[in-house]
């Protein structure tokens, strides 16, 4: 039975790298008829941020990633917040001590600083608390049982550290990276239980994954250095470890390193799914939802940051992603984020959407602009304009002239295309169009053609002036569409206004 989990920490907004990790877990679970669990890892109270958990839940709701068990859903392995599972971890930490796999350490921060300095001065291969230094420190390995018991009875602060074996090759398998071998001499004795009575990520993570029967751990490559410790913990408990897969990083658009909020701020694109407001500084960070991205376009874009289907196809529905996803096709190397490609994905989805779906987002924009119109008219506009823009909010800038008659005219367009004599022939053209009984695009075009030919003006000259009169500039959609949408009365009113206004 496939059981996977996504386990974020509520320390701030959810980075798109985290969303991609959750997405790959979701696709893997759905493809294999498995279960996806949401666990909140909130054992580090010093980094806890109010509102972050709510943000995480809302982000996944917008993305369309649904969890089968976990926070907000419930399930047989509740509770799913680590802060509510404290007593569970104490038991397992004690078990490791009893088995000689972990030990109490009473060292003060000052004593740890002295150790680090000493090891650095000695130019030791490993400058951390570990096999080479543990017997020099104040812990249950170097002290007598009586001394340890006395310190505990005196409520002396302590942590519980894992006893990393000396000079042992740790052999691990990764679904993406293959065999990974690390020698234990390069590793330190990590803290498993802190002096505040809470476990560290390492202990809580392993215990929860075991108790929740996680079969596959799919996580970011930033956790790869923790894999040897996690493997050793599974061995220490005598548990079968899950199958691991470490996903590649999402890289900056330019230069080296992981994509960060700073990159987004600098280049003007979001790195979070939803807008986030820092409760301390009131600083706002952009979100894909608020920037006008469709959730399905956002998901499609994310899926391709590290995975490819093996062919040229790029547009996938969620169902198609589920059917096509294969973790063997996830790359080992980092995926470079391309802001322009993200916009391209949104444009593709906008073009595919029915006007009836687009207009629901466009009507509030019209209301904000003080425009009153029918849904049918707005829908017609959306259908014509959608191929010219990338976002729904851009439809207004590309089509405002269809809702409001121009009160002024683009000076460059007038200078170039509204010459001496234009007013006269435009006045005559208006009279001719007024006589049309059936004001259809076909009849309008035929009449303008005939007029241009009779007056020997050239079609371009007439159409350029006609566009300026109706639109206010030399750009816009096909003029026959403009005429059809505006109707005869509005077309003539705009022409007459232009004739009177433009000298």
Q: What does the domain layout of the chain look like in residue ranges?
A: 1-71+248-345, 86-193, 353-398, 411-501
Can you give the pLDDT at residue 298? 98
Residue 162 phi, psi (nearest 5): -80, 140
Fold of 86-193: 3.90.800
Given a contact cutoff of 8 angstroms between Cβ atoms, the answer to whether 271 and 257 are in contact is no
The whole-angstrom separation of Cα 67 and Cα 77 is 14
Given a contact cutoff of 8 angstroms between Cβ atoms, the answer to whether 310 and 294 are in contact is no
Given a contact cutoff of 8 angstroms between Cβ atoms, the answer to whether 289 and 275 are in contact is yes
In the CATH scheme, what is the homologous superfamily, with its name and number, of domain 1-71+248-345? HUPs (3.40.50.620)
The whole-angstrom separation of Cα 153 and Cα 148 is 9
Note the helical H segments in 258-410: 261-267, 295-303, 318-324, 339-352, 355-368, 375-385, 394-403
Q: Which two tokens stand for residue 71?
A: 């926070």
The reported pTM is 0.92
Query: What are the C-alpha distances in Å from 16 to residues 59, 71, 467?
Result: 10, 20, 44
Is CATH 1.10.10.350 the right assignment for the domain spanning 411-501? yes
Nearest Cα to Cα of residue 130 among 111, 143, 149, 116: 116
Helix (H) or strand (E) holding 423, with range, is helix 422-434
Q: Which two tokens stand for residue 17?
A: 């790298």
Helix (H) or strand (E) holding 220, with range, is strand 216-220
Given a contact cutoff of 8 angstroms between Cβ atoms, the answer to whether 138 and 111 are in contact is yes
Helix (H) or strand (E) holding 25, with range, is helix 16-31
Query: What are the C-alpha distances in Å from 445 to residues 45, 164, 440?
Result: 71, 84, 9
Nearest Cα to Cα of residue 383 among 285, 475, 484, 309: 484
CATH of domain 353-398: 1.10.8
Can you give the pLDDT at residue 123? 79
Can you give the pLDDT at residue 45? 76
Classified as helix, coil or strand, 70 is strand
Q: Where are the beta strands (DSSP E) in 430-498?
A: none
Given a contact cutoff of 8 angstroms between Cβ atoms, the answer to whether 409 and 498 are in contact is yes
Report angle CA 396, 400, 405 to the nearest 5 degrees: 170
Q: Which two tokens stand for residue 217?
A: 């751990």
Which candidate in 31, 261, 445, 488 is catalytic?
A: 261
- Count of Cβ atoms closer than 10 Å to residue 390 Cβ: 20
Can you give the pLDDT at residue 40? 96
Can you give the pLDDT at residue 329? 96
Q: Which two tokens stand for residue 214?
A: 């996680």
What is the full per-residue pLDDT of the chain (503 aa) written as tens digits? 999 999 999 999 999 999 999 999 999 999 999 999 999 999 887 788 889 999 999 999 999 999 999 999 999 999 999 999 989 999 999 999 999 999 999 999 999 999 989 888 887 777 789 998 999 999 999 999 999 999 999 999 999 999 999 999 999 999 999 999 999 999 999 999 999 888 999 999 999 999 999 999 999 999 999 999 999 999 999 999 999 999 999 999 998 999 999 999 999 999 999 999 988 888 999 999 999 999 999 999 999 999 999 999 999 999 999 999 999 999 999 999 999 999 999 999 999 999 999 999 999 999 999 999 999 999 999 999 999 999 999 999 999 999 999 999 999 999 999 998 999 999 999 999 999 999 999 999 999 999 999 999 989 999 999 999 999 999 999 999 999 999 999 999 999 999 999 97
Dihedral of alpha carbons 137, 143, 148, 151, sign: negative
- For residue 369, indicate whether it is catalytic: no
């Amino acid at each position: 039975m496939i059981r996977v989990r996504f386990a974020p920490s509520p320390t701030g907004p959810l980075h798109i790298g985290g969303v991609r990790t959750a997405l790959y877990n979701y696709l893997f679970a759905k493809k294999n008829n498995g279960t996806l669990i949401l666990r909140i890892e909130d054992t580090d109270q010093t980094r806890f941020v109010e509102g972050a958990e709510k943000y995480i839940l809302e982000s996944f709701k917008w993305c369309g990633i649904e969890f089968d068990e976990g926070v907000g859903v419930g399930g047989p392995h509740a509770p799913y917040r680590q802060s509510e599972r404290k007593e569970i971890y104490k038991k397992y930490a004690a078990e490791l001590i009893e088995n000689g796999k972990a030990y109490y350490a009473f060292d003060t921060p000052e004593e740890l600083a002295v150790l680090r300095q000493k090891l650095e001065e000695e130019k030791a291969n490993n400058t951390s608390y570990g096999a080479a230094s543990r017997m020099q420190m104040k812990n249950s390995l170097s002290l007598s049982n009586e001394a340890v018991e006395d310190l505990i009875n005196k409520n002396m602060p302590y942590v519980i550290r894992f006893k990393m074996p000396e000079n042992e090759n740790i052999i691990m398998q990764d679904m993406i990276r293959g065999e990974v071998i690390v020698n234990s001499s390069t590793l330190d004795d990590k803290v498993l239980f802190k002096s505040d009575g809470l476990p560290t990520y390492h202990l809580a993570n392993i215990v929860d994954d075991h108790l929740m029967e996680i079969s596959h751990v799919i996580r970011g490559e930033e956790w790869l250095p923790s894999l040897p410790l996690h493997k050793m913990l599974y061995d220490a408990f005598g548990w079968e470890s899950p199958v691991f897969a470490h996903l590649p990083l999402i890289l900056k658009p330019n230069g080296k390193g992981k994509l960060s909020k700073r990159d987004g701020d600098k280049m003007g694109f979001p790195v979070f799914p939803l807008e986030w407001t820092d409760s301390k500084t009131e600083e706002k960070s952009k979100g894909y939802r608020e920037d006008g991205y469709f959730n399905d376009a956002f998901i499609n874009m994310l899926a391709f940051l590290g995975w490819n289907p093996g062919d040229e196809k790029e547009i996938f529905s969620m169902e198609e992603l589920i059917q096509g996803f294969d973790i063997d096709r996830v790359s080992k190397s980092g995926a470079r984020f391309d802001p322009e490609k993200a916009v391209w994905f949104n444009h593709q989805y906008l073009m595919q959407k029915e006007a009836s779906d687009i207009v629901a987002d466009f009507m509030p924009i019209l209301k904000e602009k003080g425009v009153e119109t029918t849904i049918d008219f707005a829908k017609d506009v959306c259908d014509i304009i959608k191929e010219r823009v990338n976002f729904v909010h851009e439809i207004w800038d590309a089509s405002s002239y269809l809702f409001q008659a121009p009160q002024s005219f683009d000076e460059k367009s007038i200078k170039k295309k509204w010459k001496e004599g234009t007013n006269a022939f435009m006045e005559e053209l208006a009279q001719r169009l007024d006589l049309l009984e059936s004001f259809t695009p076909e009849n309008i075009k035929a009449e303008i053609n005939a007029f241009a030919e009779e007056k020997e003006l050239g079609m371009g000259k007439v159409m350029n002036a006609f566009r300026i009169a109706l639109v206010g500039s030399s750009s816009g959609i096909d003029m026959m569409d403009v005429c059809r949408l505006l109707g005869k009365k509005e077309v003539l009113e705009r022409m007459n206004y232009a004739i009177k206004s433009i000298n």
